[in-house]
Amino acid sequence: MRRIHAWLTENLPSLIEEHGVPGASVAVVVDDEVVDVAAGVLNQGTGVAATTDSLFQIGSVTKLWTAALVMQLVEERVIGLDDPVTRHVPGLRLRDERVTIRQLLDHTSGLDGDVLTPTSRGDDAVALYADTVAPGLTQVIEPGSGFSYSNSGYVLLGRLVEVLRGKPFHVLLRERIADPLKLSHVATLPEEALLHRTAVGHFGQTPVPVWNLPASISPAGSLLCTSARSLAQFGAAHVHGHELLSEEAVTTLWSSTVDVPEIGSFATHWGLGWASFGWEGARVLGHDGGTIGQAAFLRVVPQAGVSVALLTNGGSTVGLFADAVLGHLLSDLAPVRQPSRLTPPAAPAPIDASLVTGAYSSPALRLEITVDGPVSATARVSAVSEETRLAMPEPMTKKMVRLDERRLISVEPGMGGRHEVYVFVGDNGPADYAFGGGRLLPRVG
Residues forming CATH 3.40.710.10 domain(s) in the chain? 1-340
* 371 contacts: CB under 8 Å, gap ≥ 6: 351, 353, 356, 357, 377
CB 9 within 8 A of CB 37: yes
Lowest mean pLDDT among 107-121, 248-262, 310-324, 400-414: 310-324
Q: What is the pLDDT of residues 219-233, one digit of tens each?
A: 999 999 999 999 999
Q: Pairing mode, if any, of strands 56-57 and 421-425?
A: unpaired
According to DSSP, the residues that pair with 308 across neighbouring strands are 28, 299
The answer on pLDDT for 316 being more than 80 is: no
1, pLDDT greater than 90: no
**Nearest-angstrom CA–CA distance, 75 and 389:** 40
1-340 belongs to CATH 3.40.710.10: yes
pLDDT at 77: 97
* Confidence label for 158 from pLDDT (cuts 50, 70 and 90): very high
Per-residue pLDDT of 92-105, as tens digits, reads: 999 999 999 999 99
Q: What are 258-285's pLDDT values in tens digits? A: 999 999 878 899 999 999 998 999 999 9
Average of per-residue pLDDT values in the chain: 94
For the chain, helix (H) and strand (E) counts, in that order, are: 12, 21
Within the chain, which residue ranges are assigned CATH 2.40.128? 353-442
Instruction: Give the model's confidence band at 7: pLDDT under 50 very low, under 70 low, under 90 confident, else very high.
Output: very high
For 177-191, letters b (16+ CB in 10 Å) and e give bbeebebebbbbbee
- Whole-number percent of the chain with pLDDT over 70: 100
pLDDT at 414 over 90: no
pLDDT at 285: 96
Going by C-beta distance under 8 Å and a sequence separation of 6 or more, which residues neighbour residue 375? 348, 349, 350, 351, 401, 402
200-206 mean pLDDT: 92
Q: What is the CATH number of domain 353-442?
A: 2.40.128
Active site residues: 60
Per-residue pLDDT, averaged over 16-32, amounts to: 95
pLDDT attached to residue 340: 85
362 by DSSP, 3-state: which?
coil
pTM of the model: 0.95
- Tell me the C-alpha distance between 99 and 363, whole Å: 20
Query: What's the pLDDT at 398?
Result: 95
CA distance readout (Å), 405 to 262, 310, 348, 431: 13, 36, 11, 12
Measured between alpha carbons, how far is 24 from 40 in angstroms, rounded to an integer? 6
